[in-house]
């Protein structure tokens, strides 16, 4: 891999966040973690990641609210967003896509290997 890609992982579930971070770093990515929506927006104001992995159910500011903020604020709009959520209803998936997410993964239905593969595809 030529240049190291930066990933912003927005996930409040500590165990899952650490597992994903560890695996993605083994794959050669640089991973920044945010535990809530406020931290994520603060990070996005200061840094431009190559991709954002975004949970929906978050403390303080939800993933949907973050997507809305990304749409409203062109300075923040740059990285593709993939949602990783426990919300698997079609309405949630449609809402995520309508707000700009290019991928939507339901946690219970995706393996870490599949996720890593999809992230690689998104970064090509």
Cβ-contact 35, 18 below 8 angstroms: no
Cβ neighbours, 10 Å, residue 107: 15
Distance (Å, rounded) from C-alpha 54 to C-alpha 5? 16
**C-alpha 101: how far from chain center:** 9
- At 9 the pLDDT is 97
Q: Residue 6: is it exposed, middle or buried by C-beta count within 10 angstroms (0-12/13-18/19+)?
A: middle
What whole-number distance in Å separates Cα of residue 68 and Cα of residue 115?
24
Q: For the chain, give me the number of helices (H) and strands (E)?
A: 5, 5
pLDDT in tens, 68-100: 999 998 888 778 999 999 999 999 999 999 999
What are the φ and ψ backbone dihedral angles of 113, each rounded to 5 degrees? -60, -45
Nearest to 119, CA basis, from 80, 76, 63? 80
What does the pLDDT look like over 5-62, one tens digit per residue? 999 999 999 999 999 999 999 999 999 999 999 999 999 999 999 999 999 999 999 9
Domains delineated in the chain: 6-122 (3.40.50.2300)
The pLDDT assigned to 74 comes to: 82
Which pair of structure tokens corresponds to residue 100?
């700009």
pTM of the model: 0.94
**What phi, psi does 6 have (nearest 5°)?**
-100, 135
């Amino acid at each position: 891999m030529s240049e190291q890609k930066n990933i912003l992982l927005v996930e409040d579930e500590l165990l899952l966040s650490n597992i994903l971070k560890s695996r993605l770093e083994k794959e050669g990515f640089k991973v920044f973690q945010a535990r809530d929506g406020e931290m994520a927006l603060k990070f996005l104001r200061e840094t431009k990641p190559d991709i954002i992995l975004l949970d929906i159910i978050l403390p303080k500011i939800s993933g949907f609210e973050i997507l809305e903020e990304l749409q409203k604020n062109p300075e923040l709009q740059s990285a593709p967003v993939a949602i990783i959520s426990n919300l698997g209803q079609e309405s949630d998936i449609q809402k995520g896509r309508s707000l700009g997410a290019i991928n939507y993964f339901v946690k219970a239905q995706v393996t870490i290997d599949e996720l890593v593969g999809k992230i690689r595809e998104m970064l090509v």
